[in-house]
Structure 1
Amino acid sequence: MPVESVRFAGEAMDIAVPSRPLRVAGVAMAGFRGRATNSVDLPVVPYPAATVFLDFGDVVFVDEARGARVDGSWVLGLGPVGLRGGGREVDLLQVRLSPVAGYAVLGAAPGADARVITLEEFWGRDVERIREQLRAARSWDERFALMETVLGSRQEAGRAVDPEIVHAWRRIVAGGGRIRVERLAAEVGWSRKRLWSRFRSQLGTTPKRAAQLVRFDRAAHRLSRGHSAALVSADGGYADQSHLYREAAAFTGLTPTALASAPWLTVDPVAWAAPAYVSRH
């Protein structure tokens, strides 16, 4: 089980990742553990996948617009904005689900708004049993294996996304978000309206919003690697640099300069070297 220590918002954090490829398509997992000198509080940077958190420390997420607080087990949909998370005692299993996998695993699309949804809303009373099994696990590898079994069973029993929607999602990812909805509709032989409706009902967001998020995710990670905003906007499909500034503000409330050093992105090269959303699903 690979474990690497990183600096996260100025604090030491151990990150564990599975020691072998996961057998469940469209899924990535990582474990986080550490104790902060001061409670870490940071804005969430959106990601093109549903994210499931199972926390055994004191991490709390806050929806700033509504003042709602959630801890324990929760789900973030695609593209949450206006969310902050943090805590002092970190013992957290995080699962990222591609939108296609998320529909089957969660039993419903988690949506793309800024709402933090408790995992119980999707899995009901099973959540507490799963949490206790994970809490009792003696290692991260055991936690990963237990969660992989849970996810595999739910994916197998869950509802499959339409093949046309799978194709549209893959094309959005392959094109870095630089593809028009009309072209996607033509490729699958649907009307634009039908594609829009089915995509939203199954993946929790619209094709246009999904494309914007995939494009923004790639831009954010290029900024975090030190590329200039001018280069990122020119290469990333943005009309101009001000377009990138507007999207960074809309998705995160940050400027590209602030986004480049956002602590939320610093763990990605270790925890999410193989992003879930670009896997088989």
Structure 2
Amino acid sequence: MAGFRVPGPLVGDLRVVPHPAVMLILEFGSETPTVGDGAGRCLRGSLVAGPGFGSGGGVRAWGNGVECVQVRLSPVVAGAVLGVCPAELAHGAATLDDLWGGEASWIRERLGGADSWQDRFDFVDALLARRATRPPVDPEVAWAWRRIVAGGGLVRVDRLAAEVGWSRKRLWSRFRSGVGMPPKRAAKLVRFDRAVHRLVAGEDAARVAADGGYCDQSHLHRDVLAFTGATPGAVVGEPFLTVDDRAWPT
């Protein structure tokens, strides 16, 4: 979990950069923020976004006096915790009002009335533990996801299928049902996430491309553009990426 407070307006609207996690954003600021998904939808208030939300670019967030607790959940546990698996999130995201009904307003009030960030984190932690009612994903799917993350997205899908004793088709189907995307797409998203954070840290693009399994620097450039709708030079200046090392320390 991480807590964010942005006094005043979000300058220039913030680009939503895809991430390999399910994002739960619980807002309680002075004004309700809005996320535009690039397809004409505007999602107001707290929301749940599936892994890779924002892919393709065009997803922006704006608001004034934004305060929120953001939770990053592994896709393999998100369904059990949230009551909705990533594959069920229409268009990649849904408002908390749509998913949890009136409880969303109660959560907002509790977060706004808390005395400290630690109190908010403790409240959210207990809330998610209480709501963990669904069974987890197949152990084979969870194992495959962990292998993809640990390998930086460089693991081949047919090798994963062989290691769990499934056919490639079965792994594709069960993985997509549990995680919300097929394994090849998941691997590509993990690889992109690793690469873009190394670029933000100031590492050489050619080295990042070589280490990340890209054919060359142009391949990396195309991948960043496909996920974000922007060039690597533009993406590395996005505010929420530049504070990731403080909000989500490794």
Alignment TM-score, normalising by the size of structure 2: 0.92
Give the Cα separation in 2 of the matches to 1:37 and 1:150.
Answer: 29
**Correspondence for 1:72 among 45, 52, 57:** 45
More helix by share: 2
**Correspondence for 1:62 among 21, 36, 41:** 36
Could you tell me whether the CA contact under 8 Å between 1:108 and 1:202 is conserved in 2?
no
Give the Cα separation in 1 of the matches to 2:140 and 2:108.
Answer: 35
The unaligned stretches of length 5 or more in structure 2 are none
Could you tell me whether the CA contact under 8 Å between 1:33 and 1:91 is conserved in 2?
yes
Which residue in 2 is equivalent to 1:101? Answer: 77
Which residue in 1 is equivalent to 2:17? Answer: 45
More strand by share: 1
What does residue range 1-281 of structure 1 map to in structure 2 within 5 Å? 29-36=1-8, 39-57=11-29, 58=31, 59-64=33-38, 66-80=39-53, 81=55, 82-111=58-87, 115-155=92-132, 157-274=133-250
Q: CA RMSD in A?
A: 1.7
SS at match of 1:79: coil
SS at match of 2:17: coil
Distance 1:166 1:37, change over 3 A: closer
SS at match of 1:92: strand
SS at match of 1:273: coil
**More displaced stretch, 209-218 vs 76-85:** 76-85
Deviation at 1:113, TM superposition (A): 7.6
Structure 1 letter corresponding to 2:226: A
Structure 1 letter corresponding to 2:122: A
Which residue in 2 is equivalent to 1:9? Answer: none
Could you tell me whether the CA contact under 8 Å between 1:196 and 1:206 is conserved in 2?
yes
Deviation at 1:259, TM superposition (A): 1.9
Deviation at 1:76, TM superposition (A): 1.4
Structure 2 letter corresponding to 1:178: L
Give the Cα separation in 2 of the matches to 1:94 and 1:269.
Answer: 15
Could you tell me whether the CA contact under 8 Å between 2:18 and 2:52 is conserved in 1?
yes
SS at match of 1:212: helix
Alignment TM-score, normalising by the size of structure 1: 0.82
Give the Cα separation in 1 of the matches to 2:237 and 2:7.
Answer: 21
Deviation at 1:114, TM superposition (A): 5.2
Percent of aligned pairs with the same amino acid: 55
Give the Cα separation in 1 of the matches to 2:12 and 2:69.
Answer: 17
SS at match of 2:207: helix
Give the Cα separation in 1 of the matches to 2:199 and 2:141.
Answer: 30
Give the Cα separation in 1 of the matches to 2:13 and 2:167.
Answer: 44
Give the Cα separation in 2 of the matches to 1:168 and 1:262.
Answer: 31
Distance 1:113 1:208, change over 3 A: farther
The unaligned stretches of length 5 or more in structure 1 are 1-28, 275-281
Give the Cα separation in 2 of the matches to 1:103 and 1:32.
Answer: 24
Could you tell me whether the CA contact under 8 Å between 1:53 and 1:75 is conserved in 2?
yes
